[in-house]
Structure 1
């Protein structure tokens, strides 16, 4: 183990991948204005990274959305139906070297048959003009696969690595620069829109997340900026004559109104982040009196803990969630044992799919809540990209371009033939289209088709769950309302990798405030818990982020 120029422990090449709380505090920052410091550079914003990133160029070859989106991704384009005739975006084969492309991708489902016994793989490869050989790894243990592969130095031609795993790998930026190709020579500026127009259609902020150690290494998978939402069983609210809350006072009043344990019904199946956001807790940091303050240190966070403890003490939370915060809140809401719960926005359509057989089931999204009447709502802002595809560094220029063409092909948006192929295979073989215009897998499709090619790139977000009446319109409306409430982080637009020891402390801190909710610790203990956190990592993290903020004129 050696030290960097700042005296921070840093691991050498073969011991690079220690994971967890012991990981080095100075995880490499991505990019710097001079772009010559490699993994030890400082964070950079879009202006500093402009010479590295593709120029944002909206793709014009797809279908027109019924409800327009926003270029910054805060409002997703909405589609009210599937086109009768999907358009073909790419007509020529994209694999031309005659060599296979090897790829490692995760999967959270049963592994499908491999080649040559999988007609889905065979068909897509024929269209691509060559063979992609997948090494499919268990998504639940994917970090083990990533660290073992990176430590060996023997990486595949294309490697999907999620951002939530990257934060657990110390000195990832150093490893990435050593093992993966710099994509700027192929994509920067106007280069992408000519040869890889679908890659050029990703938001600039998403591309900035793919910069590691001052180089554009990762092809991003764009994601919605919304981390969480509150959902309500609308059918139960209607039966009980209750409305949606608009602030925390109303939330508590409505919760007390609908809560009835004697009828096996509680107000909440889960509750945590919703209250913190409504209280005005920042996503991570905020500036107060010219100084960075972490969300744990804010009075708003302490107020959120006290409010949530009150909700628990009043018996408004389902006892299963009281006993175990990892309980399946979806089941409690789906069975009607709870009225409200919080989840990722993408869970909305999944709940309709799961509980469509429940008579009268109607789950609706609740607009962001304010702390009190007349106050503004706050919504935490998620990173603009969550997963990344990397291309092996020592490939020839021709092979790197081939991999980029495959990534571009896999990026085709909703409404295209390629989108159907990537998502569901061949119509009439792997899926059919039902009366609502929704692809339904055949028995063969259920066996052979799995998320694989989609992990070779990202894809543009699409609000297209039109099989559930009103969902597309309501989600578009919710995002339009939520967009102005997104937290204005002091690091908005900067590409900063969180120090890994700070990330490692998130879970113990979450454990602590959940213990307070449940009465296992007192509300007054929170101040001491925060003091301990400051001594462990908080003050050093503040110093780290302060330098980033000062270097980028945010302080």
Structure 2
């Protein structure tokens, strides 16, 4: 066991592998850029940063470049191009360690998609899937036990840069500058996303890009609102409360909000996206004085019964179910959840719209928080270094973009088996939805594309929704920066302050406990995180 492994094993026992980090939770800001060491200055990163070469093989119906949002497509090309001329595999097994946000798929023996996927890869792919909520703990155990797959999604462990130096292949010779052009679909990944894979002047991982699509917004069931003569628009906090009141009907077991709309309310009061800059310093959003008003409004929504009573006791899937069946016509979620909601809504007349956050006082539109450029990073194990080109070829295969045969198969499986063709578009059936969930999008993926074949017009609806709020979204100045203290303590710190938040909203504690809780958060590690991230930000300019 290496010195690093021994340290990790001890810390995993003490901390339960518990910190929230690189594996991709919303709001995570612990990934690579600005990691400790002298190799993070701009000159160094310019030398090593992969060249960007945008894929232009298919023209979108709606181009999002001007608005910094994904392109949208109404139709899948009738004659998709073959992006990969030869299977990337070498015939030997490819083992993968990653997570999933969907039910575990059927085993290989019962999974037609998986069997065909292995044929097209040219190697049997063995995927070790873990539910995302448990991934950090499982990842820490795998690192300590030297049980990582050939390809692994980087989870959160102490001293992540040191872990990668010990466990992962340095990909710089393969991906820096024009070297990446050997893998054209990795070269198509957004430039900012690569910050998450660069540590100490070296490229250790391939990012999984998201960006604007991972921004959180308030979804609404337009059809339910319309049936009551309501519109998915509010111009002030008071109007939002009135909308929630109108949508709540306890006789029908209907509660306006599936979960507490904490971030949406913060958007009304100009709370910054995780961090804000004050000269060379970073200030936590927890310190914003608007929180007293935020909590007063959230308490009002809870006390009035406008938030589902199980909002704090259920799982992530529960809020989707409440929205889909109409028992909660409003839910806060990321734009990337749009396809899942379409797939889970059984009413053919169901429609989705978003509600833009207003300024609380009615003085204009508020600003949502812009999602992080990447939700995770996939690295290659040093044990598989002899096969690094094969494994990069595999990740390149997974990053093939919309409009290709590979993308069509990866997302929709085989025609007649996993999807049916509706108006020229592939639509997953139940077998397809079950079998294709191999966690492929948490190994590597191309830039997100808005394509929603389940319902005609949905792609344009989501595109216009993003267009209406993303251009004015607030970014997180620390997105992609690395803090060791955050890596070790972020989960414990946030669990503590989130518990105080929940207690305040549900009326178990008064709003006056917020200021002491923030003071404790700062002294327990928040101030140290701010210092480390500020130093990383300064060195990355």
- Contact 1:43–1:495 at 8 Å: present in 2 too? no
Q: Give distance in 1, aligned partners of 2:45 and 2:107.
A: 42
Q: 1:272 to 1:46 in 2, by over 3 A?
A: farther
Question: Which residue of structure 1 lines up, in the alignment, with residue 267 of structure 2?
Answer: 277
Q: What SS class does the counterpart of residue 374 from structure 1 fall into?
A: coil
- 1:432-487 CA-partner distances (Å, limit 9, x unpaired): 423462233485x5775442555442222010003323321121112222222221
Question: Which residue of structure 2 lines up, in the alignment, with residue 364 of structure 1?
Answer: 353
Task: Answer yes or no: is 1:417 the counterpart of 2:405.
Answer: yes
- Contact 2:256–2:307 at 8 Å: present in 1 too? yes
Q: Give distance in 2, aligned partners of 1:446 and 1:491.
A: 36
- Contact 1:30–1:495 at 8 Å: present in 2 too? yes
Q: Give distance in 1, aligned partners of 2:41 and 2:250.
A: 51
Task: Answer yes or no: is 1:392 the counterpart of 2:370.
Answer: no
Question: In the TM superposition, what is the alpha-carbon distance from 1:256 to its structure 2 partner?
Answer: 3.5
Q: Give distance in 1, aligned partners of 2:492 and 2:440.
A: 32
Q: 1:213 to 1:20 in 2, by over 3 A?
A: farther
- Contact 2:150–2:383 at 8 Å: present in 1 too? no
Q: What SS class does the counterpart of residue 215 from structure 2 fall into?
A: coil
Q: 1:235 to 1:532 in 2, by over 3 A?
A: same
Q: 1:465 to 1:552 in 2, by over 3 A?
A: same
**Greater CA deviation, 490-499 or 476-485?**
490-499
**Greater CA deviation, 410-419 or 316-325?**
316-325
Question: Which residue of structure 1 lines up, in the alignment, with residue 148 of structure 2?
Answer: 155
Question: In the TM superposition, what is the alpha-carbon distance from 1:230 to its structure 2 partner?
Answer: 0.5
Q: What SS class does the counterpart of residue 389 from structure 1 fall into?
A: strand
1:81 to 72, 75, 86: 75
Q: 1:191 to 1:319 in 2, by over 3 A?
A: same
Q: What SS class does the counterpart of residue 206 from structure 2 fall into?
A: strand
Q: Give distance in 1, aligned partners of 2:21 and 2:97.
A: 28
Question: Which residue of structure 2 lines up, in the alignment, with residue 491 of structure 1?
Answer: 478
Q: Give distance in 1, aligned partners of 2:19 and 2:263.
A: 28
Computing the radius of gyration from Cα coordinates, the structure with the larger value is 1
Question: In the TM superposition, what is the alpha-carbon distance from 1:18 to its structure 2 partner?
Answer: 5.2
Pairs within 5 Å for 1:128-139: 128-137=121-130
2:288 to 298, 301, 312: 298
Question: Which residue of structure 2 lines up, in the alignment, with residue 70 of structure 1?
Answer: 65
Task: Answer yes or no: is 1:351 the counterpart of 2:344.
Answer: no
**Greater CA deviation, 311-320 or 416-425?**
311-320
Q: 1:42 to 1:273 in 2, by over 3 A?
A: farther
**Greater CA deviation, 522-531 or 133-142?**
133-142
Question: In the TM superposition, what is the alpha-carbon distance from 1:144 to its structure 2 partner?
Answer: 4.0
Question: Which residue of structure 1 lines up, in the alignment, with residue 54 of structure 2?
Answer: 58
Pairs within 5 Å for 1:457-468: 457-468=444-455
Unaligned runs of 5+ in 2: 23-29
Q: Give distance in 1, aligned partners of 2:309 and 2:130.
A: 36
Q: What SS class does the counterpart of residue 406 from structure 1 fall into?
A: helix
Task: Answer yes or no: is 1:502 the counterpart of 2:490.
Answer: yes
Q: Give distance in 2, aligned partners of 1:366 and 1:467.
A: 22
Question: Which residue of structure 2 lines up, in the alignment, with residue 542 of structure 1?
Answer: 530
1:102 to 90, 95, 102: 95
Question: In the TM superposition, what is the alpha-carbon distance from 1:138 to its structure 2 partner?
Answer: 5.3
Question: Which residue of structure 2 lines up, in the alignment, with residue 36 of structure 1?
Answer: none
Q: What SS class does the counterpart of residue 293 from structure 1 fall into?
A: strand
- Contact 1:21–1:504 at 8 Å: present in 2 too? no
Q: Give distance in 1, aligned partners of 2:248 and 2:20.
A: 45
- 1:166-210 CA-partner distances (Å, limit 9, x unpaired): 2xx2122211111111111111111212x1110000011111111
1:190 to 178, 181, 186: 178
- 1:490-514 CA-partner distances (Å, limit 9, x unpaired): 3357566634313421122112112
**Greater CA deviation, 427-436 or 227-236?**
427-436
**TM-score, structure 2 normalization:** 0.86
Equivalenced residue count is: 527
Q: What SS class does the counterpart of residue 499 from structure 2 fall into?
A: helix
1:512 to 480, 486, 500: 500
Q: Give distance in 2, aligned partners of 1:452 and 1:326.
A: 17
Question: In the TM superposition, what is the alpha-carbon distance from 1:80 to its structure 2 partner?
Answer: 0.3
Q: Give distance in 2, aligned partners of 1:114 and 1:22.
A: 30
Task: Answer yes or no: is 1:200 the counterpart of 2:196.
Answer: no
Q: Give distance in 1, aligned partners of 2:208 and 2:185.
A: 12
RMSD, matched Cα: 3.4
Q: What SS class does the counterpart of residue 356 from structure 1 fall into?
A: coil
Q: What SS class does the counterpart of residue 299 from structure 1 fall into?
A: coil
Q: Give distance in 2, aligned partners of 1:323 and 1:123.
A: 39
Q: What SS class does the counterpart of residue 342 from structure 2 fall into?
A: helix
Q: Give distance in 2, aligned partners of 1:389 and 1:232.
A: 34
- Contact 2:419–2:426 at 8 Å: present in 1 too? no
Q: What SS class does the counterpart of residue 386 from structure 1 fall into?
A: strand
Q: Give distance in 1, aligned partners of 2:524 and 2:423.
A: 58
Task: Answer yes or no: is 1:329 the counterpart of 2:319.
Answer: yes
2:204 to 198, 201, 217: 217
**TM-score, structure 1 normalization:** 0.84
Q: 1:487 to 1:342 in 2, by over 3 A?
A: same
Q: 1:254 to 1:142 in 2, by over 3 A?
A: closer
Question: In the TM superposition, what is the alpha-carbon distance from 1:525 to its structure 2 partner?
Answer: 1.8
- Contact 1:125–1:132 at 8 Å: present in 2 too? yes
Q: 1:299 to 1:407 in 2, by over 3 A?
A: same
Pairs within 5 Å for 1:176-187: 176-187=164-175
